[in-house]
Structure 1
Amino acid sequence: MSLAGCSTGEKAASTENGEVKAAGSEDTLIIARLSDAESLDQQFMSTINAASVTHGKIYEGLVGRDRNAELQPLLAESWEQLDDKTWEFKLRQDVKFHDGTDFTAEAVKATFDRLLDPEVGSPRAGVLSMVEEVKIIDDFTVQFLLSEPYSPLLSILASHESGIISPKAIEEFGGDDIQEPSGTGPFVFESWTPGQVIILNRNEDYWGTLAKVGRVEFKVVPEETTRTAMVETGEAHIAEPLSIAQFDAVNASQNSKVYQSEGFGTEYITFNVEKAPFNDVRVRQAVSHAIEMDAIRKGVYNNVGGEANSLLGPKVFGYHEGLETYEYNLSEAKRLLAEAGYSDGLEIKLSTMDNKERISLAEVVQSQLKGIGIKVTIEVMEYGTFVESTHSGDTEMFIISWRNATGDADYNQYNLMHSSSIGASGNTSFYSNSEVDGLIEEARKEADSEKRIELYAKAQEIEMEEAVYIPIRVIENVAAMSKDVSGFEISPSGYLEINNVSIK
């Protein structure tokens, strides 16, 4: 996070050449995006796409990450682990929420009490289910009392689920989706016109270094050629995501260029393992053997994004370097199908969001599976509809990604593979395995890093043996960016970082 460690309290915003812009200047950064946020409430949103609008902009956490993804103080000045189940945080004393409320220990407690309240029903509550109580010691000291040791606690507190919400907003909206977000961050919410635009303004009373732009507009522009044309003509400064097919055109432009950075997460194909025919592991294994991933990475993605062997990118703690994926073997695929009772083939539905690469990927998979007698019907959905469909279990086989907001394997494994996360919490494969659950739970408690790595390795080996998913590639964050823009980044987690953006 570019905001981490910005504790100087400076109120001037410096440009690249050293000039200082007046705090009230209204430079507007326009970001053209494929799809709208499904929520502006960080305790209810389920995608990095939505979190990118609020995380590190409207909301901030007790801790954050610097440009090297290292944990740094943010709203907490310091912390100490008092014992296996007690963490103490000393809070900043110079911070106010956007609505004028003072940031104190009471706000921290109110935020996490709401997140963990079963009556509120936040789909993100599971990531901090081990927190028994947030205890106020004094106005600027809180303790997290855990039911069991939890090694990745700081990584979760740095992710969007843990953004601190104004007590006034909590009082106003209660357990309902917060429509007018109020945090402590460098940008203040102005308005949201669903399906069109979200507008933020610079927080002139921000406790840290002021943002360099005065206003940000997140515009929803579903058509990619329109998004990239907006950057070319100056109607937008950033367009994302960017398909690989557009790389050459963007780079050839006089006014735009391609932004690229490696992510924590992966893109993959998965199955609803509760639904026939994919409730039979042999069918999932057959499909895994029939897909030639090297050809897909080259033909569909032009080798953008690294080779993946699991749900974890190589930069994530817990990555299993030696994990072997299914070899391309049509004979074995046909044998497994016949053993499962489908010697004459079968028909399936492959679902995807309306993204060019994913549609191309679906078409290649359709062609490849034809070779083992599987007829594939491709279902293309608008992004929001696709998310709802995967959460509700209305899909059979689908293409999806998980960006990993924390850089720790727990975020992938607990959200995507633990049985308690089935549905909107992330386990859209509807996968349940008691041994895997136990390994994930044990890894959460384990303080020894090497032992944690061993536990995650075993869990990933079982998941691969049961063919829960087919890894496609390590995600690379890409966008079209105006040559007039500097300071823009996309974090390994996939969050858009705009606090240091300046426009010529």
Structure 2
Amino acid sequence: MKQTREKMNKGAVLGIIAVIVSVMLLASMPMATAKLYGDANGDGVIDEDDITHVEQIIAGEKTENELADVNQDGEIDVLDIAYIELIILGTAHSIGGTLVVAVYQSSWTPKHFEEAFGITPYGTNIYEPLVSLDNDMNLQPWLAKSWERMDDDTWRFYLREDVKFHDGTPFNAKAAKFSFERMIDSIPWTARLAIDRITAVDDYTIDITNKRPFAMFPAYAAHSWTVMASQSVEDGEPCGTGPFRFEKLDKVKDELTVVKNREYRGKRPYLDKVIFRNIPDAQTRVLALEAGEVDLIQEVQRSEVSILEANPDITVSRALMPGVCILGFNRQNEALSDIRVRKAICHGIDKESIVENVLSGVGQPAKTIISPIISWSAHDELEGHPYNTAKTKELLSDAGWKDTDGDGYLDKGGKTLELNLIFDARSDPDNEAMAEAIQGQLRDVGIKVDLERVESMQTPIKEGKWDMFIGSIGVYCGDASMILHAWFHSEGFYGVGVKQLFPISDYVEKLLEEGQATADETVYSQKFREVQRIAIDEEVVLDPIFYPVRVCAAKNSVKGFRPHPINGWSITLENTYIAS
């Protein structure tokens, strides 16, 4: 749905002063600059004149300059002429340049220093994990070249032998053991890794023993926080193995600068330098991009996407995320304890309309709790509960709900079918508009919905002070079964779990545990799909609304960038370059 900025979302006025101040700050920032390797004569373009200029340098007729060494091998020779020719032909990428990225959260806080090796690993390209995730959510060997399960509790990782940290020290089993032990001591999240002990078997082999059988451990360890760091981080400077290395951190400007790791073992990045500039306000990030203050922005608000897509100078890129937004039902409520009422509500919600009109088309209507980007999602297999108001009215009538007093709302036994819906607008600025849309759609079928905005979902959910809620959950590692565990296991969501939050058969919990206990993809995929079928189609414990989409935008000159589905990995720059 096309939009203009004249249509301001609710609450936008409240942030206008912050936006104005941010714009004033942006005006004082320097424009992004780039070294254009191959532009030997320094005229701002790479063309045949640069070939002539390099020939003259080789012949001793011109003075050597940095930009003439286009392939960055330390020599200016015929190889540089050949590379310039390839750039002109469009078969080689420009090397060099500085990319300015506007991020939505600071790369540094005292918490990050204590917990994350001096800097948040999110997208900075300084650190790397043992196991990585590609843009299609597939596990990839990274600092570990392979791994195997030794027994129910132990995983063995075989490490690469050609890796060095940025300080020149080798990456080996000792370094991996240090990194995991430091994470366990300082990052609460790593408790989910259930690590009991780490053993260096030899210089390049480690065993990680879990506290319980944990077949999903390699996938769980593919997380943007579980990265490997040199022991020199104890001295206060971030030091990893990644394609970029730490240069400086300006805490006043809230800018992190990283530079190309010229000793990187694999394909070196095209860019020389990346500046991560924290601009928390989403509208200010867009203004900075449009003004040329930054080259790339992450976390574009949905309402801005169509505007940016209409800008001929900007490229918008999207990635389906491994998360979901749901409508949860409290089955302690007398009306909602009837599956016919829950099904009726599901059929009464027009998800296509919500995605198009509330989310500005940035999202995908959902049928299950697992996004289709995950290989074992049951999205294509489930019947779901498609929008059908006739079905809604039929189900409610069968359940005994009639409008006996003509007020437009259904009632039974003198009691109106009235439900409260809680939501947290801080986690997603569109939650309030989505709650209002659901309220209106259910009003049309005779259900009265009262909206309640809460500061935190945890307290009302734990206390049971809700009938329905809008909630989201995402995946931050390679194990999407964590979503099933969070919602459907007795030790899951907010410590409440299935027994209180979503009463469901013990068989589902058994299926989930069995799936998480095996490394056989065929077996766990079947069990996880069955969990989805029972929870969504059979018992209707919740209604999936939409799968979120991550959106980034960049100048047209920024090429090769593709946003990662997971937030923590969203700025991966190994293939990004600035076109000449």
SS at structure 1 position matched to 2:494: coil
- Pick aligned residue for 1:452 from 514, 524, 534: 524
Structure 1, 437-446 or 394-403: larger mean CA deviation = 394-403
1:11 shift after superposition: 7.8
Provide closer, same or farther for how the CA distance between residues 475 and 345 of structure 1 changes in structure 2, counting only shifts above 3 A.
closer
1:51 shift after superposition: 6.2
The 5 Å alignment of 1:298-447 reads 298-301=356-359, 303-320=361-378, 321-327=380-386, 328=388, 329-331=391-393, 332=395, 335=399, 343-353=416-426, 355=428, 357-371=430-444, 372-377=446-451, 379=453, 396=466, 397-406=468-477, 408-423=479-494, 431=502, 434-447=506-519
Q: Identical aligned pairs, as a percentage?
A: 25
Higher strand share: 1
Q: Which amino acid aligns with 1:261?
A: A
- Pick aligned residue for 1:53 from 123, 127, 131: 123
Equivalent pair of 2:323/2:548 in contact (CA under 8 Å): yes
Q: Which amino acid aligns with 2:177?
A: K
Distance in 2, matches of 1:274 and 1:165, equals 47
1:163 shift after superposition: 1.8
Provide closer, same or farther for how the CA distance between residues 420 and 481 of structure 1 changes in structure 2, counting only shifts above 3 A.
same
SS at structure 1 position matched to 2:382: coil
SS at structure 2 position matched to 1:444: helix
- Pick aligned residue for 1:113 from 168, 181, 195: 181
Q: Match for residue 470 of structure 1?
A: 543
Distance in 1, matches of 2:289 and 2:560, equals 16
1:134 shift after superposition: 2.1
Q: Match for residue 227 of structure 2?
A: 163
Q: Match for residue 41 of structure 2?
A: none
Provide closer, same or farther for how the CA distance between residues 51 and 417 of structure 1 changes in structure 2, counting only shifts above 3 A.
farther
1:451 shift after superposition: 2.5
List alignment gaps of at least 5 residues for structure 1.
Answer: 1-9, 173-178
- Pick aligned residue for 2:141 from 60, 73, 78: 73
SS at structure 2 position matched to 1:472: strand
SS at structure 1 position matched to 2:424: strand
Name which structure has the greater RCO, CA cutoff 8 Å, separation 6+: 1
- Pick aligned residue for 1:291 from 349, 374, 389: 349
2:561 corresponds to 1:502: no
Q: Which amino acid aligns with 2:383?
A: E
Q: Match for residue 175 of structure 1?
A: none
Q: Match for residue 222 of structure 1?
A: 281
Q: Match for residue 305 of structure 2?
A: 247
1:250 shift after superposition: 1.3
Provide closer, same or farther for how the CA distance between residues 155 and 377 of structure 1 changes in structure 2, counting only shifts above 3 A.
same
Q: Match for residue 138 of structure 1?
A: 202
Q: Match for residue 244 of structure 2?
A: 187
SS at structure 2 position matched to 1:353: coil
Distance in 1, matches of 2:126 and 2:102, equals 16
Equivalent pair of 2:329/2:342 in contact (CA under 8 Å): no
1:376-411 deviation line (CA, Å, top 9, x unaligned):
335387xxxx68889988995554444434455423
Provide closer, same or farther for how the CA distance between residues 457 and 67 of structure 1 changes in structure 2, counting only shifts above 3 A.
closer
Number of residue pairs the alignment of both structures matches: 466
Provide closer, same or farther for how the CA distance between residues 342 and 140 of structure 1 changes in structure 2, counting only shifts above 3 A.
farther
Distance in 2, matches of 1:160 and 1:185, equals 12
Equivalent pair of 1:393/1:423 in contact (CA under 8 Å): no
Q: Which amino acid aligns with 1:323?
A: L
Distance in 2, matches of 1:136 and 1:341, equals 70
Distance in 2, matches of 1:151 and 1:367, equals 45
1:136 shift after superposition: 0.9
SS at structure 2 position matched to 1:352: coil
1:485 shift after superposition: 0.7
Q: Match for residue 91 of structure 1?
A: 159
- Pick aligned residue for 2:559 from 486, 494, 500: 486
SS at structure 1 position matched to 2:140: strand
1:94 shift after superposition: 3.8
Provide closer, same or farther for how the CA distance between residues 141 and 450 of structure 1 changes in structure 2, counting only shifts above 3 A.
closer
Equivalent pair of 1:166/1:182 in contact (CA under 8 Å): yes
2:178 corresponds to 1:123: no
Distance in 2, matches of 1:168 and 1:468, equals 50
Distance in 2, matches of 1:390 and 1:218, equals 36
Equivalent pair of 1:11/1:210 in contact (CA under 8 Å): no
Distance in 2, matches of 1:243 and 1:213, equals 29
Equivalent pair of 1:300/1:361 in contact (CA under 8 Å): yes
Equivalent pair of 1:134/1:145 in contact (CA under 8 Å): yes
2:258 corresponds to 1:201: yes
Equivalent pair of 1:12/1:21 in contact (CA under 8 Å): no
Provide closer, same or farther for how the CA distance between residues 415 and 167 of structure 1 changes in structure 2, counting only shifts above 3 A.
farther
Equivalent pair of 1:351/1:395 in contact (CA under 8 Å): no
1:234 shift after superposition: 0.7
Provide closer, same or farther for how the CA distance between residues 69 and 295 of structure 1 changes in structure 2, counting only shifts above 3 A.
closer
Provide closer, same or farther for how the CA distance between residues 389 and 249 of structure 1 changes in structure 2, counting only shifts above 3 A.
farther
Q: Which amino acid aligns with 2:449?
A: K
Distance in 1, matches of 2:137 and 2:359, equals 26
Provide closer, same or farther for how the CA distance between residues 468 and 220 of structure 1 changes in structure 2, counting only shifts above 3 A.
farther
Distance in 2, matches of 1:209 and 1:426, equals 45
TM-score with structure 1 setting the length: 0.76
1:448 shift after superposition: 3.5
1:68 shift after superposition: 5.0
1:222 shift after superposition: 1.6
SS at structure 2 position matched to 1:242: coil
SS at structure 1 position matched to 2:220: helix
1:75 shift after superposition: 1.0
Structure with higher Rg: it is 2
Provide closer, same or farther for how the CA distance between residues 123 and 19 of structure 1 changes in structure 2, counting only shifts above 3 A.
closer
SS at structure 2 position matched to 1:113: helix
Q: Which amino acid aligns with 1:437?
A: E
Q: Which amino acid aligns with 2:129?
A: G
1:409-441 deviation line (CA, Å, top 9, x unaligned):
4232234433334339999x9557654333222
Equivalent pair of 2:423/2:457 in contact (CA under 8 Å): no
Distance in 2, matches of 1:310 and 1:453, equals 14
